[in-house]
Amino acid sequence: MKSPISQLAGAVQESPTLALNEKAALLRERGEAVIHLGSGEPKTKTPIDAILAAAGKLTSAEVKYTPTDGIPSLKKAVVRYTEENYGRAVGAENVMIASGAKAALYSLLLAILDPQDEVLIPAPYWVSYPEMVKLCYARPVIVTPEDGRFEPGLKEIKEAVSSSTKAIIVNSPNNPSGAVYSEQFIAGIVEFCGEKGIYLIMDDIYHKLIFDGKKSVSCYKYSRDNPDSSRLVAINGVSKLYAMTGFRIGWAVANARLIATMTNVQAQTTSCPSSLLQMAAVGALNGVQSYVESLKSTLENNRNVMIRELEAINDVRVIKPQGTFYCLPDFRAYSNDSVALSRRLLEQALVVTVPGREFGMEGHLRLSYCQSMKETIEGVQRIRWALDPNSPKEIYIGDRKCVRDWK
């Protein structure tokens, strides 16, 4: 008898984070004071411009299919966004709207990858990249920087390239490390991929969430490719910058032929992103942009507080993140098994963290600083309590007696 599950789908990794989240939810249901430092979304409310635009569409009672590649007004807003933020003049034929940056990326991979093609993924990386590549019958090749830093090494990337390499996925500011790659790296990788004819996929979903007065470098600045055949693709969306994760709107900017192919893929899979939610994205992109600035300054304050608290834990090494709302401290002085460490922190200190193993960085934990400052401080202080052999053996968190049991 044929196996009920395909080999392809069966090989997709189940995330250990889901199990941890379920456990955290159970504890919360029981009334335990769990602090979530594992979240991947800002806690701020949706921008009012997005709500009003979507409400207008909803009250028209005309919520229908849209063109597969997106409604003209959203494509126009993305064209303007690309010009303003990347200094690149593109046309509507260079833009495809999708149901989230993730969906844009998956349609892109389906459009460019043949079975056994290789895709280079610098570690630490967003968990979905390797699995999405596998879902295209292609092979993820992980490149880990040897110097323990979070910026990929150009030399290591060049060494990992083979005749099967079709694409490289670069994500800066980076989930999970918060690292912002240097201009020198961006210039080098754009030039290298241009010379080799390798697709350079820039996942720019956090590109405006950069701190300390810095700005992201436009990948187009160093591209000398012919725009009609360029293999440079920018992926973006409203999820993180506008705290609109539940709206599921993202997009890709690429050469017109590739966009047309991706649109064919999308036509046969999702038909089109929701017309209602596309209108919300138009509202966000055309509305008051101070929203993004204020989100950024809230996150920057939280980042400063989280780093201060982490630095107070003996032997935890932390590289200050320059963007996003994540950091990836090194806990190897305490454990080389990040899943076990994460589980113990949840059980003993009621704090949710994400194991670094998920991101190709064993011995690290991803901590988010998008919750309130109070939760950020208390969450890290609980971790410190759980790890520090000199801290009291027992404490109360709410009504729960927590016992530190760390060797």
Ligand X SMILES: Cc1ncc(COP(=O)(O)O)c(C=O)c1O
Binders of ligand X among residues 165 to 184 (CB under 6 A) are 171, 175
Omega cis (within 30) before 115: no
Cβ 126 to ligand X, closest distance in Å? 4
Quick one: which of 47, 153, 178, 237 contacts ligand X (CB under 6 A)?
237
Alpha-carbon distance of 184 to 200, in angstroms, equals 16
Q: Residue for token digits 């392809």? A: 8
Q: Which two tokens stand for residue 322?
A: 């320059």
| Distance of closest approach, residue 239 Cβ to ligand X, in angstroms | 3
CA distance 299 to 318: 17
Of 38 and 237, CB closest to ligand X: 237
Identify which of residues 127 and 160 has a Cβ nearer to ligand X in the complex. Answer: 127
**C-alpha span between 219 and 227 (Å, rounded):** 13
Q: Which of residues 29-88 bind ligand X (CB under 6 A)?
A: 40
- Closest distance of CB 97 from ligand X, Å: 11
Region of 77-85, 97-105, 304-312, 363-371 interacting with ligand X (CB under 6 A): 97-105
Angle among Cα 387, 390, 395 to the nearest 5 degrees reads 70
When binding is defined by CB under 6 A, the residue of 203, 300, 309, 375 that contacts ligand X is 203
> How many residues touch ligand X (CB under 6 A)?
13
In this chain, which stretch among 68-76, 95-103, 130-138, 302-310 interacts with ligand X, using CB under 6 A? Answer: 95-103
C-alpha to C-alpha distance for 231 and 170, rounded to whole angstroms: 13
**Considering the rule CB under 6 A, would residue 100 count as an interface residue with ligand X?**
yes
Q: Counting contacts by CB under 6 A, is residue 402 touching ligand X?
A: no
**Contact stretch for ligand X (CB under 6 A) within 81-89, 217-225, 237-245, 258-266:** 237-245
Which listed residue (21, 245, 264, 289) binds ligand X by CB under 6 A?
Answer: 245
216 binds ligand X (CB under 6 A): no
* 126 contacts ligand X (rule: CB under 6 A): yes
Identify the burial level of 243 via C-beta atoms within 10 angstroms of its C-beta, where 0-12 means exposed, 13-18 middle and 19 or more buried. Answer: buried
- Least distance from ligand X to the Cβ atom of residue 370, Å: 11
- Minimum CB distance to ligand X smaller for 126 or for 385: 126
Q: Which is nearer to ligand X, 206 or 334 (CB)?
A: 206
Pull the structure tokens for residue 1: 């008898």
Q: Residue 78 has which token pair?
A: 């993305």
> Is residue 175 within 8 Å of 204, Cβ to Cβ?
no
Q: Which amino acid is at 31?
A: G
Structure tokens at 153: 């090494």
Q: Is 353 in the site for ligand X (CB under 6 A)?
A: no
Identify the sign of the CA torsion 303, 154, 189, 114. Answer: negative
Q: Which one of residues 97, 138, 201, 205 is an interface residue with ligand X (CB under 6 A)?
A: 205
Q: How many CB atoms lie within 10 A of CB 36?
A: 18
Nearest to 177 by CA among 124, 231, 227: 124
CA distance to 212, 330, 365, 404, per residue, from 333 (Å): 29, 8, 12, 17
Selected range binding ligand X among 94-102, 116-124, 277-285, 367-375, rule: CB under 6 A: 94-102
Rg of the chain taking only CA atoms, in angstroms: 22
Q: How far is the CB of 105 from ligand X (least distance, A)?
A: 7
Minimum distance, C-beta of residue 223 to ligand X, in the bound complex (Å):
21
Tell me how far, at minimum, the Cβ of 219 lies from ligand X, in Å.
15
Q: Is 250 a residue that touches ligand X (CB under 6 A)?
A: yes
Residue 216 vs residues 172, 179, 203: alpha-carbon distances, Å = 8, 11, 12
H or E element at residue 3: none
Chain contacts with ligand X (rule: CB under 6 A): 40, 100-102, 126, 171, 175, 203, 205, 237, 239, 245, 250
